[in-house]
Structure 1
């Protein structure tokens, strides 16, 4: 079983992309949860499910064009400005890693992160692309942040 946590604040336009992906992912091999700004609230669920893969999806300042998608190594999380939630993702990973086969963090570059704005088209399209890649396994071949 695979578990996706969609992370972010959907009141802040593109910051809600993780929530959008979690909401729209419908696949029998995946259990998806809209974690919002409190992914740490789902540590018990992670512990109970023991997912083979835990996929964390969030907006991230990658310094790339809006809608760019990257796998973010756990040791690079602090470099990408993921942070509309209480517990840093690298700390969350440390807490739940004993209960997961593999943890993969995927960041999507936001364009607009402002209250009251709509999610931008490039980021929405990136979310839809990511959903397709998750359902066909292509997400494992995404570029890694910081690699050439």
Structure 2
């Protein structure tokens, strides 16, 4: 992530997730926590929930140099495992349960703006309906938030 954010001018963070499906909520939780704690002119945060494509116009309006999508990604790793997933690798993983595939969202953003884009994936433990976020993923959320605050300060 440090390498990705090198020389950024403006960052857009788009949290993706379903708040009623356990660990799938992680992107939305990160977006909400960043929005509450981070007040910088060069960072904008959106909670895209289950319809991240609805935020493409707002993201374009902000004209960021870097876009970070945050979502639950099944990478067949231990719950809470964190990894930046390059767009070329997205087809290798099972990513969330949303209507529009993340790869389409990235292609659309790339076709309408000049920004570097990555997906920050966290391995979920459970994405069952009406479950809470697992301890492993909660710990990873805190680690992501801490790292993000370090990198942009």
Establish whether TM, by shorter chain, passes 0.5. Answer: yes
Question: Which of 123, 135, 138 lines up with 1:124 in the alignment?
Answer: 138
What's 1:6 paired with? 15
Q: Secondary structure at the match of 1:129?
A: helix
Q: Deviations for 1:106-126, whole angstroms, at most 9, x for unmatched residues?
A: 100000111111100110110
Q: Secondary structure at the match of 2:96?
A: coil
RMSD: 1.3
Question: Which of 125, 129, 152 lines up with 1:111 in the alignment?
Answer: 125
Offset of 1:133 from its aligned partner?
Answer: 1.0
Alignment TM-score, normalising by the size of structure 2: 0.85
Q: Is the 8 A contact 2:24 2:96 kept in 1?
A: no
Alignment TM-score, normalising by the size of structure 1: 0.88
Q: Is the 8 A contact 2:17 2:72 kept in 1?
A: yes
Runs of 4+ in 1 over 2 A off after TM superposition: none
How far apart, CA to CA, are the structure 1 residues paired with 2:97 and 2:126? 14
Unaligned runs of 5+ in 1: 139-148
Q: How many residues align?
A: 138
User: Matches of residues 16-35 of structure 1 in structure 2 within 5 Å?
Assistant: 16-25=25-34, 26-27=37-38, 28=40, 29-35=42-48
Between 1:76-85 and 1:59-68, the stretch displaced more is 76-85
How far apart, CA to CA, are the structure 2 residues paired with 1:8 and 1:76? 20
